[in-house]
Amino acid sequence: MAYSEKVIDHYEHPRNVGSFGKEDGAVGTGLVGAPACGDVMKLQIKVSPDGIIEDAKFKTFGCGSAIASSSLVTEWVKGKTLDEAAAIKNTEIAQHLALPPVKIHCSVLAEDAIKAAIADYRKKTRADDEAAE
Amino acid sequence: MSHESNSPIERGALSPCWSCKGPVIQRALFCSTCAAVQGPGVVDHFTRLGMSRSFDVDMVTLDHNYFDLQRRLHPDRFSGRTARERALSQSQAVAVNDAYETLKDPLKRAAYMLSLEGRKVDIHGTATIDDPELLMEAMEMREALADAETRAAIDKVAARAEAQVLTCQCALSTAFGHRDLDRAGALTTRLKYLGKLAEEARARKSRLIRPVA
């Protein structure tokens, strides 16, 4: 199967690989997996006090499409609000990377990862708010 | 499932031989009346290979039964037979192969047993999972593998993975023994991840031996 140039670009030059400290209150972590491929994807966001995603990092063990999908999402979410980032659809990722049908689930994984990271961040801040009250 | 599944003779269900119309039990290869080869019929993989339905498969018996069936279904034995018999013996051989491939592999066997119980374990599907314990373990082990630079370091990760595969298979045996299908499902996914890790470790080792230019 031939990968598109965009997939190869992200695969060979992945953007924003790495980790933030999970305990940091400004960080939301999404950890998801695709049992079909044995893939595991970690996507983290760092959120400013006014609710803007300042930075994002990922670490993915999986195929080229999974790496490219998560790399692309970290680029896209920077500068977005949480709601905007949560609105990213896997179809947009798949379309941008020209993923073949058998690799669509990699873009689903990336969408699930960003949603999980946002949910984790919101859970954390809610817990902080409650602790403050 | 149709109403037939409640039938008391489900396992040894009889159907008429296509050739002589005599009664044949479903897993039989040949008609006991006219000796004509039968079609594969609808039986589960365990029944097809004459094994009891358990996660603990005796590999010696499994191999023995499999090779015995394949010997009796060998194409040479049907060279002088009708086209129909040749076709039936071939589809029997395919069904026997399929059953054997599923039962000899612990991961496929576990997923198959869950599917027999109506559980869907997606070892080929595309569903996302978010079990934090499993994924953190997988991430941690894949990171350890990625950081392993020498053969010895890779061997260490691989040995740890293989040991966990065995532990996981033992736990699966217990879970199926207690009919704890939720646990069996979670362990099956874990086994998939551990298998992937072992596969990656082998690939990394071979790249180390023959560096890709």
Q: How far apart are CA B44 and CA B114, in angstroms?
A: 13
pLDDT, tens digit only, all 213 positions of chain B = 344 444 444 456 788 899 889 888 877 888 888 888 988 888 999 999 999 999 999 999 999 999 999 999 998 899 889 999 999 999 999 999 999 999 999 999 999 999 999 887 766 666 788 888 889 999 999 999 999 988 899 999 999 999 999 999 999 999 999 999 999 999 999 999 999 999 899 888 888 776 555
One-letter identity of residue B174: T
Q: How far apart are CA A57 and CA A44, in angstroms?
A: 5
- Residue B10 gets which letter from DSSP? S
pLDDT tens-digit profile of A12-52? Answer: 888 899 999 888 889 999 999 988 788 999 999 999 999 99
Q: What is the SS3 assignment for B143?
A: helix
Q: Residue A63 catalytic?
A: no
Would an 8 Å CB–CB cutoff place A35 in contact with chain B?
Answer: yes
Nearest to B139 among A34, A36, A40 (CB): A40
For this complex, say whether ipTM is above 0.90: no
Cβ distance of A59 and B123 shorter than 8 Å: no
B175: part of which helix (H) or strand (E)? Answer: helix B151-177
Q: How far apart are CA A63 and CA A105, in angstroms?
A: 11
> How many Cβ atoms sit within 10 Å of the Cβ of residue B155?
13
Would an 8 Å CB–CB cutoff place B193 in contact with chain A?
Answer: yes
A31: part of which helix (H) or strand (E)? Answer: strand A27-34
- B 127-186: CB under 8 A from A: 127-132, 134-136, 138-139, 142-143, 146
Look at residues A49, A59, A64 and name the one whose alpha carbon lies nearest to residue A103. Answer: A64
- B 69-88: CB under 8 A from A: none
Catalytic residue, candidates A8, A34, A37, A40: A37
Q: How far apart are CA A126 and CA B35, in angstroms?
A: 74
Q: What is the SS3 assignment for A125?
A: helix
Rounded alpha-carbon distances, angstroms, from residue A113 to B40, B126, B147, B196: 44, 14, 24, 20
The predicted model scores a pTM of 0.81
Confirm if B154 and B205 have CB atoms less than 8 A apart.
yes
> How many Cβ atoms sit within 10 Å of the Cβ of residue B30?
16
Chosen for mutation from A12, A44, A60, A61 (greatest number of chain B CBs closer than 10 Å) is A61
Look at residues B24, B22, B29, B18 and name the one whose alpha carbon lies nearest to residue B78. Answer: B29
Cβ distance of B143 and A112 shorter than 8 Å: no
Cβ distance of A33 and B132 shorter than 8 Å: no
The whole-angstrom distance between A103's CA and the closest CA on chain B is: 9
Cα nearest neighbour of A29 on chain B: B132
Cβ distance of B142 and A105 shorter than 8 Å: no
Nearest to A32 among B128, B143, B199 (CB): B128
Phi-psi region of A98 (alpha: psi -120 to 50; beta: other; left: phi over 0): left
Helices (H) and strands (E) in chain A, counts: 5, 3
Q: What number of residues does chain A have?
A: 133
Contacting residues of A for B129, CB less than 8 Å apart: 32-35
